[in-house]
Every structure is written in structure tokens, then in C-alpha cells.
Structure 1
Amino acid sequence: MTEKTTVIDTLVIGAGQAGVAMSEHLGRLDIPHLVLEKNRIAEAWRSGRWDSLVANGPAWHDRFPGMTFPDCDPDSFVAKEQVADYFVAYAGKINAPIRTGVEVMRVERNLNRSGFTVETSAGVIEAQRIVAATGPFQRPVIPAIAAKNQRIHQIHSAEYHHPGHLPPGGVLVVGAGSSGVQIADELQRAGRDVWLSVGPHDRPPRSYRNRDFCWWLGVLGLWDAAASQPGKEHVTIAVSGARGGHTVDFRQLAQQGVKLAGLTKSFDGDVVTFQPDLAQNIARGDENYLSLLDAADAWIARNGVDLPEEPAARHFLPDPESVVHPLLELNLSQAGITSIIWATGYATDYSWLRVNAFDAQNKPQHHRGVSTEPGVYFLGLPWLSRRGSTFIWGVWHDAKFIADQIAIQRQYQQYKDASQR
């Protein structure tokens, strides 16, 4: 070891919601640790999302148990800058040992001795344990089918900030999860001609019978579902906290002027083709929506709870022309489209973590965050332990479990038999 080498028991990589939560629980257990963040605390909330983004869950729900959002109505949806400020304040509240502006380049297990050697932009660190708290939104993904057309301005939703950020002209938004829907809606309300490519999705009600859907998932036990339903692993969720929160309604979007199409299939020069699956995708989203209403009604009847009935929630607008006669082909030039926004999600990037904790597809192998590589832990991933694992409150509970496992391992390692005492 050189003079620049830092020695620590547990190194947490990433200071977003996962890293801050991890630090709180490690601190409570008096486990020496350090949190490294290559940017600022919760940087992705500030610069990796569009300007008008708000949390998709209400303030009373999407928070850590130890602190509420200051000066916020509990039922409001907090703006992204306030969310980032919340994590900065929380880190200060728990006195989290966070070093910002430090990038981790490589982590390798030591040979013939315990722990890991970590190469960073600020020198070498020796750690007994590694917590990868970088979350699921590390590398924006644009599919290989993307248009090979230099005339079209193409960006991932992570690079979109506001309507004026795009060149004049129409916009094709590919992907109808929460990001794609909200961006398409914002662009259309700003006066842009907008096309929205809609794939398979879940579409929960924003609220039903005077309760937010986050509340319903809680009382119905759905946040604690331990595994995704088969076929639902990669289905996006269309939900929005924008403009005070509202249920995403593709028929309403079409009525206000957004042009809908099915899943994007391919590009050939100026021509984009779509799958003929728009009606099917919307119908399955409706099924998901109605299933939660049915479960909520059954829960109310079973528990004798007095909540106002809401029959209008089951009334749908008529199918728009774009559903009845789906758009299968579109000439971008003729339509006046100058930009494509790819709201197509993210991939993880653990190229810096050189350990035996990944399967053949480079996906982390773990049980509730405890990886197949002893001493390595993952935090903040979808379905890490339950459906709620990627939500702010969910990652806090996952971090508590991982911290407990680290404490147990430390107890074993610190044991000395009678002859050593």
C-alpha cells in the first residue's frame, strides 16, 4: 500500500437515494464506511431528467422514514430539484461520509488476502466490502433500429430538458412509459406536432376512490410482491405526477392532439414503420387499470371501509381513429418530424466491478442484494427484494437488510476463540 491508499471496512459506490440510505443504516450499526460519488449527491435527479419532472409518487409516500419533504403538501408531487435537495439535506442530517467528485474505475478482489482493491480518480482504496449503489439508470439505451438519418435530431429522454431544447418541427417520441408519456404531453401542450409510439405497458389509476394508487398498492400488499409476474419483467408503467397528478389516458392524449402508433418496428431512410399492435397494447393497459380497480373495490367491501364510490373511473373515451385504423408507416419528412426522442429506458454498467457476481448476460447475481461474490452487494435495482425496491422508501428498506447482513459478517470475522483472547 502507498501513502495515498485509504483503508475502510465498507465502500459504497454511488450517492443517490441508494447510497444515502445505505450510509444511514451502516452508520446506525457503527460500521466504518465511505460513500463515493463521481458527480454531486443525487446528480441524476438534477441533470439526468427533464426540467419539469416531478416525482411519480406523492410526497407522503416517496421519501425516507426519517424525514418529510419540507414545505410540501403531503399529497403533492415534488419537483426534481426539491428531491435532489432532500437527499443532500438527508445526507447532512445523518452526517453521511460522502466524497463527491470521485469516480471509481476498477474494483478487484485481493489475492491471498481479504477484501478488495479499488482504483479511483482520487487514489487507491482498500475495502473489505463493496456496495454497488449506482442503481438501474446508468446507461441510456437507444435501440439498434434507430434511424440512420443525419437530418433527424435524435436524443434519449435523459438528454431532453424542455420543448425549446429541440429544433423546430414535429417530434416522434418512442416509448410510452412514464417518461415518454409525460414528454409527449409536454411537447404537445407547447404547440408541437407529436407522434407517440406505444408499446406494452401497465397503466395504473393515479387515484381511485379518494386514495392514490401508491396507497392502494400498499394496502393490497402489491408493493411487497417478491417477484415479477412472468412476461412482466420489462413492461413499462405509465403513471404521472405532472400537473398535480393524473391518470395516464392514451385516448385523452389522442383527443388533445397526440398522434398514436404501435411499437416502433424499423426505419428505412425517411420512413418509419410500426407494429400493428396499438389497440392490443392499449387494451392490455386497460386490463391492468381495471384489475386494480376491481382489487380496490373488493378490499373496500371486505374491510367495510367507507370510501366514496367512483363509477366514472370505469368509463373510457371512444377509441380514437389512430386505434381503429392504426398508423403502420410514416414518412418523417412529409410529416415535418425533425426530432426523435427515445424514451426506451436504461441499462446497468458494472464494467468497473471485476468480480464474480454476474451471469452470462452480465446481470448481477444476488439474493436481496447479497451477491454471489462474498463481500459484494447490490442496491437500488428493480425487484431487488420486492416490487417497491426502486422507489425511495423501498430502497431504504433494502439498504437496512444489506446493512444487517454486513453486520453479521463482521461479527463472524471479528470472532476470536478462547486461546486468542
Structure 2
Amino acid sequence: MTSEDVEVVVIGAGQAGIAMSEHLGNAGIPHVVLERARIAEKWRTGRWDSLVANGPAWHDRFPSLSFDSDPDGFPAKDEVASYFETYAATIGAPVRTGVEVTSVTKNEGAPGFRVETATGTLNARYVVSATGAFHTPVIPPVVPAGTGVEQIHSAAYRNPGQLPAGGVLVVGAGSSGVQIAAELRASGRDVFLSVGPHDRPPRRYRGRDFVWWLGVLGKWDATTPPLGAEHVTIAVSGADGGRTVDFRDLAAAGITLVGRTRACRSGVVEFEDDLARNIHAGDANLLALLAEADAYVERNGLDLPAEPEAHVLGPDPACVTDPLARLDLAEAGIGSIVWATGYGQDFSWLKVDAFDGAGRPRHQRGVGAEPGVYFLGLPWLSRRGSSFIWGVWHDAKYIADQIVIQRGYAAAYSHAE
């Protein structure tokens, strides 16, 4: 087994790791980026076949490189993966693929960390965890394994043909859930969509994409989520050229909306009595943003065409006014359940004093509680935009600056000796 001294080890070569490498390289800081698979592997194999970016190409990118496609379009997942591969080559990022980090431990009685991999050991003065937060797919223990339906997480879903015959219950109505449900319905499946609390921005309004509105209204810079909305999903999609997600449209297409999934007894799934409340709260979120946008246009005298029809919501569909309280899976012909229920964090390999009792990173804008350890790519790391492509780039710049500062202190100590 080999041993190597490196000043900074960055773990993960997705959007966070590549952004980190750029800023470290610009600062002249020696580093390596370790990736257990390939660059941007989750974009390649960690999502369904038809996935596209949720933001337009002009926005969801790093500042110094544009996508080759339509700036207002939504790049396909393979295009996004190629973008990061090209970017890494352009900046000369020292990425080592096929290298899995098995543990990181603090050196005893000395600065720095011991980074263990399957191919050898690295001694690093600083470690940046650029693995993000979406590590372990979460399937709530609601439906017993012996119920007779196939259960998969959205991370394992690829296309409708992958699933067994029959209808599908999709649990979770964020970006993944609504897109998967729509695709399944378009393939001819009977689909039930379990809808929880969500934000529902317009895809476009008055000729501008919602990412533009969140920017000019200062919402990307919010430093903490609204109270009680820490885990609220966002129902937005770039699929089919991008359009505003309206659950009424999904119902009109034949999808049966149901409340949050709470239990399953003897093959019968039970739902919370919260469907209308969740739908209407999403509507309120939409209308509030439209009102803020209108006020911004008026205040700044912008020549953006009014769009009064966007404020008009249709009547609630029957599945909302008279919702199902339970669903007999066999009787309804349900052959599978897709759980679009998010991910858990797994930092078990990072054996340092930088976590709370629940295993969550303790940090300030990515600067870990353990000196010399940094986190990048976490939701709300510094602001609302932190887990987005462009947001992680700016967070990486801040972390690189902090490493520069710490290097200065270390150099001053060595000089004093």
C-alpha cells in the first residue's frame, strides 16, 4: 500500500468537487480530487433515463463555461455529466477516478488527517467533503416487504418498462415524484400520486424563468428556510421543455392524487386527510410569488407583459374534493410503488469530531467544527442556492478562501519557529 502527502484532499468529483478544484487551483493550492466512480457519476447512473436539469442552461452552470445547447433549454442528464467532465479537463482538475475513500481520521498529536482508500493512504492537511447530502435513498418502513408489490426508490427508477405490469403508486410530489408520475401516466399506466407539503413556483412568468425571479427577488440568498419548511419539496420540472407544475393538470391527465402515505395494513395503504390542504398551500406559495413578481415589475418599471391568467386557478378535481382515505393495492391492480422520498446522509467514513448526535455535519458556511475539515454541496450550506450547480460554485470559492487563510496561519507558525 502506498502513502502520499497532499495538502488538500477533496472527496467527490461531482459539481461540488469540480468547483472546489477550480478555486483551489486558482489559489495555487496543491490538491487531489478522489472519486470512487466517474466524474458526475450520479448524473450518469443515479437517476431515471429521461431526467433533465430543473433549471435552464443559462442559469444552472458554472460562470466560465456555457452549455453548447439552447440557453433557455433544460440539458439532459448525460449532457450535464459531459459538461462537468469537460469542465474538469478545461481547468486541469487533478481528479483520480475509481478511488473510494474508506475512512478519514485525525492524525494523533499532529496536524492533518489520514485518508484511507482502497489503493493507498494519503496524508492531508485539509479535507473537503464534496459528496453533498444525497447519499442513501430513504424508503419509509410503511409497506411491508411481503405485501406483493415491487417497491423501489426513485434513485433506482429508470423508465416505465422497468416496472412490473399494473398500476403504480408514486409517493412524494417534489420534482422527482411529479416527473416520474407524469411519465408513467403517459406510458398508459394507472397512477396514484401521494402529495405532501410542497412549494410550487411558476416555471415561467411574464417571460422569465422562475430561477430569474428567485434571483431578482433575493430568494436564492435566503440563509435559512422558513420555519417549518426545512424539508418542504419543490414541485418544478424542466421536462418537455419546462412547464408549471399544476396538480390539477396531473389529475386531468388521469393521475389520482392522494394525501401523504401513512400506513399499510393487510395490503391496504392508508393516506392522511391532508391532500386539499397541501394542494392549497402550494397554490398560496405560487400566488405569493406571482404577487411579489408583479410588484417588482411595477416598482422597477420593467416592460414585461402582464400575465393575469397565471393567477387563475381551476376548480379542485374530484380526487381532491373527495379524496381516497385508503387504497387496496391488489384491488386497484397496483404492481409497484416508487418512493420519491429523498435521501439520508451517510458520513460514516468521516471519523472526525464534526457531527451532532444525529450524524449531521456541524459547520459554519461549510467550515467544519473539526478544524481542517470542510463540507460542500449541502442544502442551505450558506443560502438557498447552495445545493444548485451555480450555488455550489460560489460556496466553493468561500471555502477555498478559508483554506488560504488557514495556510497563512500555518506558514506564520512555521516562520516563528
Q: TM-score, normalised by structure 1?
A: 0.98
Cα displacement (A) at 1:347: 1.0
Q: Aligned to 2:64, what secondary structure does the other structure show?
A: coil
1:206 aligned residue (177, 191, 203):
203
Question: Which residue is 2:44 aligned to?
Answer: 46
Cα displacement (A) at 1:253: 0.3
One-letter amino acid matched to 2:11: I
Question: Which residue is 2:56 aligned to?
Answer: 58
Q: Aligned to 1:280, what secondary structure does the other structure show?
A: helix
Q: Aligned to 2:34, what secondary structure does the other structure show?
A: strand
Between the aligned partners of 1:418 and 1:190, the Cα distance in structure 2 is 68
Q: Aligned to 1:119, what secondary structure does the other structure show?
A: strand
User: Would the alpha carbon gap of residues 346 and 417 (structure 1) be closer, same or farther in structure 2, given more than 3 Å must change?
Assistant: closer
Question: Which residue is 1:290 aligned to?
Answer: 287
In the TM superposition, what are the counterparts of 1:128-147 in structure 2 within 5 Å? 128-147=125-144
Structure 1 stretch displaced more, 309-318 or 281-290: 309-318
In the TM superposition, what are the counterparts of 1:3-42 in structure 2 within 5 Å? 4-42=2-40
Q: Could you list the structure 1 runs, at least 4 aligned residues long, displaced by more than 6 angstroms after superposition.
A: none
1:345 aligns with 2:342: yes
Cα displacement (A) at 1:390: 0.5
Question: Which residue is 1:327 aligned to?
Answer: 324
1:126 aligns with 2:104: no
Structure 1 stretch displaced more, 138-147 or 355-364: 138-147
Between the aligned partners of 1:402 and 1:299, the Cα distance in structure 2 is 33
In the TM superposition, what are the counterparts of 1:331-410 in structure 2 within 5 Å? 331-410=328-407
Question: Which residue is 2:80 aligned to?
Answer: 83
Structure 1 stretch displaced more, 117-126 or 140-149: 140-149
Alignment check: 8 A CA contact 2:147 2:267 kept: no
Question: Which residue is 1:181 aligned to?
Answer: 178
Between the aligned partners of 2:79 and 2:142, the Cα distance in structure 1 is 36
Question: Which residue is 1:231 aligned to?
Answer: 228
Cα displacement (A) at 1:77: 0.4
Between the aligned partners of 2:259 and 2:415, the Cα distance in structure 1 is 70
One-letter amino acid matched to 2:409: Y
Cα displacement (A) at 1:419: 6.5
Cα displacement (A) at 1:145: 1.5
CA offset digits 1:336-390 (Å, max 9, x no partner): 0000000000011100000000011111000100011000000000000000001
Question: Which residue is 2:66 aligned to?
Answer: 68
Alignment check: 8 A CA contact 1:149 1:269 kept: no
Between the aligned partners of 2:42 and 2:91, the Cα distance in structure 1 is 21
Between the aligned partners of 1:150 and 1:81, the Cα distance in structure 2 is 36
Between the aligned partners of 2:266 and 2:156, the Cα distance in structure 1 is 24
User: Would the alpha carbon gap of residues 319 and 103 (structure 1) be closer, same or farther in structure 2, given more than 3 Å must change?
Assistant: same
Between the aligned partners of 1:86 and 1:294, the Cα distance in structure 2 is 36
Alignment check: 8 A CA contact 1:67 1:90 kept: yes
- Identity, in percent, stands at 62
Q: Aligned to 1:359, what secondary structure does the other structure show?
A: coil
Cα displacement (A) at 1:417: 7.7
One-letter amino acid matched to 2:182: D
Q: Aligned to 2:226, what secondary structure does the other structure show?
A: coil
Cα displacement (A) at 1:148: 3.0
In structure 1, stretches of 5+ residues that fail to align are none
Question: Which residue is 1:244 aligned to?
Answer: 241
Structure 1 stretch displaced more, 3-12 or 121-130: 3-12
One-letter amino acid matched to 2:57: A
Q: Aligned to 2:62, what secondary structure does the other structure show?
A: coil
Cα displacement (A) at 1:416: 5.3
Q: Aligned to 2:146, what secondary structure does the other structure show?
A: coil
Question: Which residue is 1:95 aligned to?
Answer: 92
Q: TM-score, normalised by structure 2?
A: 0.99
Between the aligned partners of 1:419 and 1:214, the Cα distance in structure 2 is 50
Between the aligned partners of 1:344 and 1:147, the Cα distance in structure 2 is 17
Question: Which residue is 1:263 aligned to?
Answer: 260
Aligned Cα root-mean-square deviation (Å): 1.0
Q: Aligned to 1:204, what secondary structure does the other structure show?
A: coil
1:312 aligns with 2:304: no
User: Would the alpha carbon gap of residues 293 and 112 (structure 1) be closer, same or farther in structure 2, given more than 3 Å must change?
Assistant: same
In structure 2, stretches of 5+ residues that fail to align are none
User: Would the alpha carbon gap of residues 331 and 29 (structure 1) be closer, same or farther in structure 2, given more than 3 Å must change?
Assistant: same
1:164 aligned residue (161, 173, 177):
161
User: Would the alpha carbon gap of residues 418 and 257 (structure 1) be closer, same or farther in structure 2, given more than 3 Å must change?
Assistant: closer
CA offset digits 1:241-291 (Å, max 9, x no partner): 000000001011001100000000101121000001000000000010001
2:296 aligned residue (281, 296, 299):
299
Q: Aligned to 1:145, what secondary structure does the other structure show?
A: coil
CA offset digits 1:215-258 (Å, max 9, x no partner): 00000011011111110100000000000000001011001100
1:110 aligns with 2:85: no
1:217 aligns with 2:214: yes
One-letter amino acid matched to 1:310: E
- Number of matched residues? 417
Alignment check: 8 A CA contact 1:116 1:128 kept: yes
Q: Aligned to 2:337, what secondary structure does the other structure show?
A: strand
User: Would the alpha carbon gap of residues 171 and 417 (structure 1) be closer, same or farther in structure 2, given more than 3 Å must change?
Assistant: closer
Cα displacement (A) at 1:147: 3.2
Alignment check: 8 A CA contact 2:147 2:266 kept: no
Cα displacement (A) at 1:316: 1.4
One-letter amino acid matched to 1:194: V
1:191 aligns with 2:188: yes
Between the aligned partners of 1:139 and 1:231, the Cα distance in structure 2 is 23
Q: Aligned to 1:334, what secondary structure does the other structure show?
A: coil
